[in-house]
Amino acid sequence: MPRDQHSTGRILPNGFKTPWWLRNGHAQTLWAGLLRPRAQVALSQEGLDLPDGDQLQLAWGPAAPGPIVVVLHGLGGCARSPYVLGLLEALARRGMQGVVMQFRGAGEQLNRQPRFFHAGETGDLQATVQHVCRRLPGRQLAVVGYSMGGIITLNWLARLGEQAAADMAITVSTPMQLGPCADYLATGPRRIYDRHLVRGLRRLVRRKQMQQALPLDPRAVLRVRTLRQFDDCITGPLHGFVNADDYYTRCSPLQRLRAITVPTRMIHALDDPFIPAATLPSVEQLPPAVTLEWSPHGGHVGFVQGQPPLQVSYWLDGAIPRMLAEGLWQDKEPIVATIA
């Protein structure tokens, strides 16, 4: 990794230390994705009507008196994803109120419009932030985005610049260059993730086709096998892009990082099977507000630590609330809440 030699952004180790028994990036990713239990967190659902007549489904975590944290899940995720529930529980213990912005079509309830979500859709996050600020005025607000949610977070921060109504942001395992990452997923053992993601996306399209007619060729949907093919045949045409290349070019966050002014911390593992380390930004590409925090190991939204079978824990659940407390509370004493 390049060293921090400029007064722009910073690139630093993030402090995660992988356990001896789970050092491989694939093992970290698969353990967290397949074996992590769901925290028992009560969610309160809320529908948020959008200007175009569509609706988002928000999921509020346990009530807490401190800052509000808008959480964006990854591709194929939802408010019930184990890593999301784990964070909501950890935030509540730190006295913070978490709310999950589920992407259009994610979760159990389909959205109304033919379109669903994509990496460049920042209007939905803006609508969510505005709604949260109206509902709970005067509270500090942060945004945490995982993977695809991180892409949306960075694009939103960059497009709004100083107008972004957030006091802090954190992204985790976020692709910076969509094209190279999609191609990377389609090679070697990483194809298992590519196929898994595409199966979930195809299920979403089939559900929507049962709900309403979509401007898509049904035969093309059946032929899709990779994420690039899906974006070329479905994501692109359905959301106003010419093809996958046009979508990737216009929605990759790397090109606009320097427009970010909100204090932002980006967490990455160099062995992330979704993201080639060479696609991460250099320190020259980071503005003063952004810090890239990396570790040699950790996988994709993995960062598993501890000892099996009873002492396994998830580093992100402690690190993210701690970072937020440092950035939001500053010299104030964080509120510690007890979850009933």
β-bridge partners, 267 = 172, 293
Give me the residue label for tokens 């320190």.
283
Query: Which contacts (CB < 8 Å, 24+ apart) does range 131-136 have?
Result: 131/48, 131/58, 132/68, 132/70, 132/99, 133/165, 136/68, 136/97
Gap between the Cα atoms of 257 and 252, Å rounded: 10
- CA distances from residue 322 to 42, 294, 325 in whole angstroms, order as listed: 22, 16, 5
What distance in Å separates the CA atoms of residue 39 and residue 58, rounded to the nearest whole number? Answer: 18
Question: The tokens 């479905």 sit on which residue?
Answer: 234
| Alpha carbon distance 224, 229 (integer Å) | 6
Residue in this structure with the two tokens 């002492």, named with its chain if needed:
311
Gyration radius of the chain's alpha carbons: 19
The single-letter DSSP state of residue 190 is G
| Catalytic residue set | 147, 272, 300
Residues 69/99, Cβ–Cβ less than 8 Å: yes
